Amino acid sequence: MRDSLIILIFFAAGVVFGVTGVLPFDISQTDIAMYALYALIFVVGFSIGNNPDIVGSFRKLNPSLALLPLCTVLGTLAASALLGLILPQRSVTETMAVGSGFAYYSLSSVIITEYKGAELGTVALIANIVREFLTLVAAPLLVRWFGTLAPMAAGGATTADVTLPVITRYSGEKYSVLSIYHGFVVDFTVPFLVTFFCSL
Amino acid sequence: MPAKLETMFVVFGFMAAGVLTGWLLRRHRAGWTGKVTMALIWLLLLILGIEVGSDRRIVESLPTLGVEAAVIALVSLLGSCLAARLLWTVVRRRENASKKEGRG
Taking an 8 Å cut-off on Cβ atoms, the answer to whether B50 and A14 are in contact is yes
Are B30 and B76 within one domain?
no
Are B8 and B37 within one domain?
yes
Taking an 8 Å cut-off on Cβ atoms, the answer to whether A75 and B83 are in contact is yes
Residues B53 and A18: beta-carbon distance below 8 Å: yes
Helix (H) or strand (E) holding B89: helix B62-103
Q: Tell me whether B49 touches chain A (CB under 8 Å).
A: yes
Which residue out of A2, A17, A109, A146 would a mutagenesis test of the B interface target, given it has the greatest number of B Cβ atoms within 10 Å? A146
Question: What is the pLDDT, as a whole number, of residue A55?
Answer: 62
pTM equals 0.85
Q: Classify residue A120 by burial, with Cβ atoms within 10 Å: 0-12, 13-18, 19+.
A: buried
Are B6 and B49 within one domain?
yes
Are B50 and B76 within one domain?
no
Q: Tell me whether B11 touches chain A (CB under 8 Å).
A: yes
Are B78 and B39 within one domain?
no
Gap from A33 CA to chain B (nearest CA, Å)? 6
Gap from A58 CA to chain B (nearest CA, Å)? 18
Residues of A in Cβ contact (< 8 Å) with B93? none
Per-residue pLDDT tens for A21-55? Answer: 888 777 777 888 888 888 988 998 898 888 766 66
- Residues A153, A74: Cα–Cα separation, whole Å: 10
CB-closest option in B50, B65, B88 to A119: B65
Are B33 and B74 within one domain?
no
Which residue out of A3, A15, A102, A161 would a mutagenesis test of the B interface target, given it has the greatest number of B Cβ atoms within 10 Å? A15
Are B52 and B97 within one domain?
no
Are B3 and B41 within one domain?
yes
Q: Mark which of B41, B59, B77 sits at the end of a domain.
A: B59
Are B31 and B46 within one domain?
yes
Which residue out of B25, B45, B71, B88 would a mutagenesis test of the A interface target, given it has the greatest number of A Cβ atoms within 10 Å? B45
Are B33 and B77 within one domain?
no
Residue B104 has pLDDT above 70, yes or no: no
Residues A128 and B48: beta-carbon distance below 8 Å: no
- Residues A158, A163: Cα–Cα separation, whole Å: 6
Q: Tell me whether B73 touches chain A (CB under 8 Å).
A: yes
Are B52 and B1 within one domain?
yes
- Residues B87, B82: Cα–Cα separation, whole Å: 9
Residue B5 has pLDDT above 70, yes or no: no
Are B54 and B4 within one domain?
yes
Task: Please give the residue range of the domain that contains residue B96.
Answer: 61-104
- Residues B29, B16: Cα–Cα separation, whole Å: 18
Tell me the range of A126-130, B26-30, B76-80 where mean pLDDT is highest: B76-80
Number of DSSP helices (H) and strands (E) in chain B, helices first: 4, 0
CA dihedral A104, A110, A114, A118 (to 10 degrees): 110
Q: Mark which of B26, B42, B59 sits at the end of a domain.
A: B59
Domain count along chain B: 2
Per-residue pLDDT tens for B49-102? Answer: 898 888 888 899 899 999 999 999 999 999 999 999 999 999 999 888 887 776
